[in-house]
Amino acid sequence: MEERYFGIIKTFDVFKGFGFIQRQKGKDVFFFYQEIEADDKILAEGDKVSFTVEIKPKGLRAFKIRKES
Protein backbone atom coordinates (compact mmCIF):
# COMPACT_ATOMS: atom_id res chain seq x y z
CA MET A 1 0.00 0.00 0.00
CA GLU A 2 1.29 3.43 -0.91
CA GLU A 3 1.91 5.95 1.83
CA ARG A 4 -0.56 8.86 1.82
CA TYR A 5 0.41 12.36 2.86
CA PHE A 6 -1.74 15.28 3.97
CA GLY A 7 -1.60 18.95 3.14
CA ILE A 8 -3.51 21.94 1.81
CA ILE A 9 -3.80 23.39 -1.66
CA LYS A 10 -1.37 26.31 -1.73
CA THR A 11 -1.98 27.33 -5.36
CA PHE A 12 -4.02 25.89 -8.20
CA ASP A 13 -4.35 27.40 -11.68
CA VAL A 14 -7.25 25.72 -13.47
CA PHE A 15 -6.32 27.31 -16.80
CA LYS A 16 -2.70 26.11 -16.67
CA GLY A 17 -3.69 22.75 -15.17
CA PHE A 18 -1.29 22.57 -12.22
CA GLY A 19 -0.66 23.72 -8.68
CA PHE A 20 1.20 23.11 -5.43
CA ILE A 21 0.28 21.37 -2.20
CA GLN A 22 1.73 22.60 1.08
CA ARG A 23 2.58 19.53 3.13
CA GLN A 24 2.30 19.38 6.90
CA LYS A 25 6.05 18.68 6.95
CA GLY A 26 8.58 19.16 4.18
CA LYS A 27 8.69 20.89 0.83
CA ASP A 28 5.66 21.87 -1.25
CA VAL A 29 4.63 19.28 -3.84
CA PHE A 30 3.77 19.97 -7.50
CA PHE A 31 0.67 18.41 -9.07
CA PHE A 32 -1.13 18.24 -12.39
CA TYR A 33 -4.90 18.68 -12.73
CA GLN A 34 -5.41 15.13 -14.01
CA GLU A 35 -4.12 13.67 -10.71
CA ILE A 36 -7.19 14.93 -8.81
CA GLU A 37 -9.40 11.93 -8.00
CA ALA A 38 -12.82 13.57 -8.17
CA ASP A 39 -15.44 13.79 -10.89
CA ASP A 40 -15.53 17.59 -10.89
CA LYS A 41 -11.74 17.98 -10.36
CA ILE A 42 -12.36 21.24 -8.50
CA LEU A 43 -9.97 22.28 -5.74
CA ALA A 44 -9.49 25.69 -4.16
CA GLU A 45 -6.66 27.28 -2.22
CA GLY A 46 -6.90 26.12 1.38
CA ASP A 47 -8.66 22.82 0.63
CA LYS A 48 -7.38 19.89 2.71
CA VAL A 49 -6.15 16.98 0.60
CA SER A 50 -4.44 13.61 0.86
CA PHE A 51 -2.11 12.28 -1.83
CA THR A 52 0.77 9.99 -2.72
CA VAL A 53 4.21 11.27 -3.73
CA GLU A 54 6.73 10.22 -6.35
CA ILE A 55 10.20 11.62 -6.95
CA LYS A 56 10.53 12.88 -10.52
CA PRO A 57 13.56 14.47 -12.26
CA LYS A 58 12.27 17.98 -11.44
CA GLY A 59 11.35 17.17 -7.82
CA LEU A 60 8.44 15.80 -5.83
CA ARG A 61 5.11 15.27 -7.58
CA ALA A 62 1.71 14.46 -6.07
CA PHE A 63 -0.54 11.72 -7.43
CA LYS A 64 -3.94 10.27 -6.45
CA ILE A 65 -5.07 13.55 -4.89
CA ARG A 66 -8.26 13.34 -2.81
CA LYS A 67 -10.11 16.18 -1.12
CA GLU A 68 -10.53 15.58 2.61
CA SER A 69 -13.49 16.85 4.63
Chain Cα centroid distance, residue 44? 11
Chain Cα centroid distance, residue 26? 14
State the amino acid at position 35 in one-letter form.
E
Q: What's residue 52's pLDDT? A: 97
How far apart CA 66 and CA 30 sit, in angstroms, is 15
Q: What's residue 41's pLDDT? A: 82
3-53 residue pLDDT tens:
999 999 999 999 999 999 999 888 999 999 999 998 888 899 999 999 999
Domains defined along the chain, listed by start: 4-67 (2.40.50.140)
Tell me the pTM. Answer: 0.91
State the amino acid at position 44 in one-letter form.
A
Confirm if 5 and 51 have CB atoms less than 8 A apart: yes
